[in-house]
Chain A
């Protein structure tokens, strides 16, 4: 790997690391992280396919509230390097990515513990209205998260060699790799379950089963299902009796007391 590539790997994995805590640009999603990594390493096609495959597995991995999910950022960057440099198959890539995701989760918790110190320091800076210091602390705390992904990734990029990857992965028996690719087919359910639990509202669950049954028998594209779902949602919201009781009287009350609505998803 050339020096330029290693520098690019470092920069890109730093961006990916920032993305994984900010959750803004979605650079930490395998679909983006692996594809760009593939371009850097000179094998865009492999990065793209690996990204798509990992993305489906990681579909529901998300940080809601304070809960930690497996780390898609580190998993994407490291698995792409190993697959491309070691000329491995996509299913081997998945076998690499999942343990890395677990390790990344531990690292994330560790990095977050470090950033607590930054918060305490900013508590002090606040006392003196030291804007510079607060801003510095704000961004350097992000730097910790960037390094969390870029240091391990760059180390792998520097020290990895094709023969090393091949001999290590060839030592894994076929039963395991085939079993892993079989498991890859249904590991996605963990992600689905995470999303479903987040959105779980008992009286709306029939829509989940409706989607399940319909898609089992009708062959439509995902976009078409999206349109069907959107229409269902619009119609249901229009018909929902809870929005029809509130006529004039209650809305006047709401304005006067200015209370915040109860969050129905939090029960």
Chain B
């Protein structure tokens, strides 16, 4: 907010007051900060021009936007856009293609900067009216749509980008000199492909909700991998 405050308040006392207003906790998905900064700037401008806007209004509106904007921003950016682009980029990169990191970097940042620019302009032009715009169905629709797309893609990723091979041998039958080995994994794949991955993901979700730290879970899975491989239960 500093450039705005410098621009519109010339008097030191007003500057201190404005700085105090904005030197507080604020946290939102970065790509969605545009509308808030724009709207707050518009409000400060109006206040400097002598309109009757009290401090509490500016701050409570600013804080009030945190929730709904994070509500959209987190699923859109971290739940949908980044995983899709990152999984796509990573797949290309593992095949040795430089398109992988390039697509990820360019596409993600293009969307992010576009959102920031457009959001900032929106907030600046609409001012207080923005709150009314956002209280309509648009944000809710966007949140719901992004969540659906994100969840759907996660379902695909869980199945396609997880490798579990439970190579524990269940039966060994020899017919006509050909040996057929059936492992636990073969049976699970018969039931439904990727079932083990789904089970593991759901277990991880449950444990994370129980406040187990992700890094602890990673090390537990590490240990499971080593033990499982040593005992011949898990294969590559």
**Is the pair A190, B226 in contact by a Cβ cutoff of 8 Å?**
no
**Is the pair A196, B205 in contact by a Cβ cutoff of 8 Å?**
yes
**Is the pair A186, B19 in contact by a Cβ cutoff of 8 Å?**
no
Task: Answer whether residue A116 sits at the interface, using C-beta atoms and an 8 A cutoff.
Answer: no
**Interface size, B (range):** 35 or more
A108 to B44 CA separation, bound complex (whole angstroms): 35
Q: With A129-B15, A180-B225 in contact, is A48–B151 under 8 Å at CB?
A: no
Q: Which residues of A contact B101 (CB under 8 A)?
A: 31-32, 35, 48, 51
Q: Which residues of B contact A266 (CB under 8 A)?
A: 67, 71
Task: Answer whether residue B193 sits at the interface, using C-beta atoms and an 8 A cutoff.
Answer: yes
Interface string of A226-246 (1 = CB under 8 A from B): 101110111011001011001
**Is the pair B64, A129 in contact by a Cβ cutoff of 8 Å?**
no
Within 8 A of A (CB), among B180-236: 192-194, 197-198, 200-202, 204-205, 207-209, 214-215, 217-219, 221-222, 224-230, 234-236
Task: Answer whether residue A111 sits at the interface, using C-beta atoms and an 8 A cutoff.
Answer: no
**Is the pair A185, B100 in contact by a Cβ cutoff of 8 Å?**
no
Interface string of A187-206 (1 = CB under 8 A from B): 11110111111111100110
Candidates B20, B194, B205; contact of A193 at CB < 8 Å: B205
A65 to B65 CA separation, bound complex (whole angstroms): 15
**Is the pair A59, B150 in contact by a Cβ cutoff of 8 Å?**
no
Candidates A185, A243, A251; contact of B141 at CB < 8 Å: A243
Chain A residue at minimum C-beta to C-beta distance from B87:
A222
Q: With A35-B93, A232-B152, A260-B135 in contact, is A240–B144 under 8 Å at CB?
A: yes
A80 to B204 CA separation, bound complex (whole angstroms): 28
Q: With A193-B201, A215-B156, A228-B152 in contact, is A55–B15 under 8 Å at CB?
A: no
Chain A residue at minimum C-beta to C-beta distance from B63:
A260
CB distance from A90 to the nearest CB of B (A): 9
Task: Answer whether residue A165 sits at the interface, using C-beta atoms and an 8 A cutoff.
Answer: no
Candidates A29, A126, A195, A254; contact of B16 at CB < 8 Å: A126
Interface string of A149-165 (1 = CB under 8 A from B): 00000000000000000
**Is the pair A230, B221 in contact by a Cβ cutoff of 8 Å?**
no
Q: Which residues of A contact B228 (CB under 8 A)?
A: 179, 182
Task: Answer whether residue B78 sits at the interface, using C-beta atoms and an 8 A cutoff.
Answer: yes
Known: A187-B221, A229-B148. 14 other contacts (CB 8 A): A31-B89, A32-B105, A35-B93, A44-B98, A102-B215, A126-B19, A181-B236, A186-B225, A199-B151, A212-B158, A225-B152, A233-B149, A236-B148, A261-B139
30 residue pairs of the A-B complex, CB under 8 angstroms, read A32-B104, A35-B98, A35-B101, A53-B94, A55-B90, A62-B82, A101-B218, A126-B16, A129-B16, A179-B225, A182-B234, A185-B163, A185-B165, A186-B197, A189-B158, A199-B75, A199-B147, A199-B151, A204-B144, A205-B151, A211-B155, A212-B159, A217-B193, A222-B153, A237-B144, A240-B141, A254-B136, A264-B140, A265-B75, A265-B143
- Name A residues whose Cβ lies closer than 8 Å to a Cβ of B: 22-26, 29, 31-32, 35, 44-45, 48-49, 51-53, 55-56, 59-62, 64-66, 69-70, 98, 101-102, 105, 122-123, 126-129, 131, 134-135, 175-176, 178-190, 192-201, 204-205, 207-217, 222-223, 225-226, 228-230, 232-234, 236-237, 240, 242-243, 246, 251, 254-255, 258-261, 263-266
